[in-house]
Amino acid sequence: MWIVSGYLVVCVGSIINFFWQVSNGYLGYGFRGDVELIASVFSVLANFAGWWFLSQIMVETTNQRPLIRKALRFLMLQSLLVGVSQLLVVYALNVTLWPVVALWAFTLGSLITAIGFFMMLRIYSRNSPVDDDETAVERID
């Protein structure tokens, strides 16, 4: 659930950023800018929805465990690097501005997501045997 929660925080940050930019007149300057502004919101919503559905996947065989562990390591690294880079940006800015609130949400969401990937990695790194005949062994959360 940490992963989905982290992406939910990122969604909130993206929505805050969208409304801040719209309220400051950035919508309507041109086609490219409008598409980028709208696409940024929908991309994080799509990311959240995708991970919501992926969290429902069940691991059915031991052959899938190594692939899941590898994927989780890279996803954890990606989230951690994004969180750290955003943290460095946030510390360089004035904390009273609304866009900084959105950056904090991106930062915290990325770090929460990295924790979620780490926790999932721990689940799949355990040496508990999985019977190939079982239909649903573990739920990815």
- Domain with 11, as residue range(s), is 2-132
Does residue 127 belong to any structural domain of this protein?
A: yes
What's residue 112's pLDDT?
92
Q: Is the pLDDT of residue 13 over 50?
A: yes
Distance of alpha carbon 57 from its chain centroid, rounded? 17
Per-residue pLDDT tens for 33-50?
A: 888 888 888 888 888 888
Per-residue pLDDT tens for 60-70?
A: 777 888 888 88
pTM of the shown model: 0.67
Does residue 85 belong to any structural domain of this protein?
A: yes
What's residue 1's pLDDT?
78
Average pLDDT for 83-99: 75
Q: How many CA atoms lie within 13 A of 47 on its CB side?
A: 21
According to DSSP, residue 61 is labeled: S
Does residue 14 belong to any structural domain of this protein?
A: yes
Helix (H) or strand (E) holding 139: strand 138-139
**Treating both helix axes as pointing N-terminal to C-terminal, what angle do 98-125 and 64-91 enclose, rounded to 10 degrees?**
160
Q: Which two tokens stand for residue 109?
A: 């969401």
Residue 22: helix, strand or coil by DSSP? helix
Does residue 19 belong to any structural domain of this protein?
A: yes
